[in-house]
Chain A
Amino acid sequence: MWNIALRAKELSGCGIAGIIHRKGELIPGEMILKAICCQYERGNGLGAGFAAYGIYPELHEYYALHVMAQNKQALEKVEEFLQKHTFLNFQEPIPTKKVKTIKDPPLFKRYFVRPKFDEEEAEFCDITAEDDRMVQLVMEINEKIDGAYVISSGKNMGVFKGVGFPDEIAEFFRIDEYKAFIWTAHNRFPTNTPGWWGGAHPFTILDWSIVHNGEISSYGTNRRYLELFGYKCTLLTDTEVVAYILDLLIRKHGLPLELACKAMAPPFWMEIDEMPEEERELYTAIRILYGGAVLNGPFAILFAYNGGLVGLNDRVKLRPLVAASKGDLYFMASEEAAIRAICPDPERVWAPKAGEPVIVEMEEGVIPNQKSYLKPRPAEVKEDALRIGYLPPLLFSSK
Chain B
Amino acid sequence: MPLELDISRLYYSQVNKIIRDYIEKGEREFIIRGVNGHRYLFAGVSAEVKVELYGTPGLDLGAFMRGPVIRVFGNVQDGAGNTMDEGKIIVHGMAGDVVGYAMRGGKIHIYGDVGYRVGIHMKAYMDKVPVIVIGGKAGDFLGEYMAGGIIILLGMNTLYPERPIAGLFLGTGMHGGAIYVRGKVKESYLGLGLKPYPLDGEDEKLLEKHLKEYCEDFGLDLSEIFKEDFIKIIPYTHRPYGKLYAY
8 Å CB contact of A316 from B39, B55, B75, B116: B116
Given known A-B contacts A335-B58, A349-B75, A317 and B36 have beta carbons under 8 A apart: no
* B115 sits at the interface (CB 8 A): yes
Residue numbers in A under 8 Å from B97 (CB-CB): 317, 320, 351
Q: Is the CB of A335 within 8 A of B159?
A: no
Residue numbers in B under 8 Å from A41 (CB-CB): 39
Q: Is the CB of A39 within 8 A of B37?
A: yes
Q: Is the CB of A317 within 8 A of B115?
A: yes
Expressed in whole angstroms, the Cα–Cα distance for A322 and B77 within the complex equals 10
Expressed in whole angstroms, the Cα–Cα distance for A270 and B78 within the complex equals 28
8 Å CB contact of B36 from A270, A316, A341: A341
Q: Is the CB of B59 within 8 A of A353?
A: no
Interface positions of B from 30 to 59, Cβ below 8 Å from A: 36-37, 39, 55-56, 58-59
**Among the interface residues B59, B141, B160, which one has the most CB atoms of the partner chain A within 10 A?**
B59
Q: Is the CB of B116 within 8 A of A354?
A: yes
Given known A-B contacts A38-B36, A351-B94, A320 and B188 have beta carbons under 8 A apart: no
Q: Is the CB of B77 within 8 A of A354?
A: no
Given known A-B contacts A38-B36, A317-B115, A320-B78, A337 and B188 have beta carbons under 8 A apart: no
Interface positions of B from 93 to 127, Cβ below 8 Å from A: 94, 96-97, 113, 115-116
* B63 sits at the interface (CB 8 A): no
Give the residue name and chain of the B residue nearest to A313 (CB): B116
8 Å CB contact of B139 from A268, A270, A340, A353: A353
Q: Mark B128-170, 1 if CB is under 8 A from A, else 0.
A: 0000000000011100000000000000000110010001100
Expressed in whole angstroms, the Cα–Cα distance for A39 and B59 within the complex equals 11
Give the residue name and chain of the A residue nearest to B116 (CB): A317
Interface positions of A from 304 to 333, Cβ below 8 Å from B: 316-317, 320, 322
Q: Is the CB of A338 within 8 A of B37?
A: yes
Given known A-B contacts A268-B168, A274-B188, A317-B139, A337 and B77 have beta carbons under 8 A apart: yes
Expressed in whole angstroms, the Cα–Cα distance for A274 and B186 within the complex equals 12
Q: How large is the interface on B (under 10, 10 to 19, 20 to 34, 35 or more residues)?
A: 20 to 34
Q: How far is the CB of A282 from chain B (nearest CB, A)?
A: 20
Expressed in whole angstroms, the Cα–Cα distance for A271 and B140 within the complex equals 13
Q: How large is the interface on A (under 10, 10 to 19, 20 to 34, 35 or more residues)?
A: 20 to 34
* A350 sits at the interface (CB 8 A): yes
Q: How far is the CB of B68 from chain A (nearest CB, A)?
A: 21
Expressed in whole angstroms, the Cα–Cα distance for A340 and B8 within the complex equals 12
* A336 sits at the interface (CB 8 A): yes
Q: How far is the CB of B8 from chain A (nearest CB, A)?
A: 10
Residue numbers in B under 8 Å from A335 (CB-CB): 37, 58-59, 77-78
Interface positions of A from 85 to 109, Cβ below 8 Å from B: none
Residue numbers in A under 8 Å from B75 (CB-CB): 336, 349
Give the residue name and chain of the B residue nearest to A273 (CB): B188
Give the residue name and chain of the A residue nearest to B38 (CB): A337
Q: Is the CB of A316 within 8 A of B141?
A: yes
Interface positions of A from 271 to 319, Cβ below 8 Å from B: 271, 274, 316-317
Residue numbers in B under 8 Å from A337 (CB-CB): 36-37, 56, 58, 77
Expressed in whole angstroms, the Cα–Cα distance for A319 and B78 within the complex equals 10
Residue numbers in B under 8 Å from A270 (CB-CB): 188
8 Å CB contact of B56 from A271, A317, A340: A340
8 Å CB contact of A351 from B36, B39, B115: B115
Q: Mark B169-199, 1 if CB is under 8 A from A, else 0.
A: 0000000000000000000100000000000
Q: Is the CB of B77 within 8 A of A336?
A: yes
Residue numbers in B under 8 Å from A341 (CB-CB): 36-37
Expressed in whole angstroms, the Cα–Cα distance for A316 and B78 within the complex equals 15
Q: How far is the CB of B10 from chain A (nearest CB, A)?
A: 13
Q: Is the CB of B56 within 8 A of A336?
A: yes
Residue numbers in A under 8 Å from B116 (CB-CB): 316-317, 354
Residue numbers in B under 8 Å from A336 (CB-CB): 56, 75, 77, 96
A-B contact pairs, 11 of them (CB 8 A): A271-B168, A317-B115, A320-B115, A322-B96, A335-B77, A337-B56, A338-B37, A340-B55, A341-B37, A351-B115, A353-B139
Known: A335-B37, A350-B160. 11 other contacts (CB 8 A): A268-B168, A316-B116, A317-B97, A317-B116, A317-B139, A320-B77, A337-B36, A340-B56, A351-B94, A353-B139, A353-B163
Interchain residue pairs A-B with the least CB separation, the first 4: A337-B37, A317-B116, A337-B36, A337-B56
> B residues engaging A (CB < 8 A)?
36-37, 39, 55-56, 58-59, 75, 77-78, 94, 96-97, 113, 115-116, 139-141, 159-160, 163, 167-168, 188
> A residues engaging B (CB < 8 A)?
38-39, 41, 268, 270-271, 274, 316-317, 320, 322, 335-338, 340-341, 349-351, 353-354
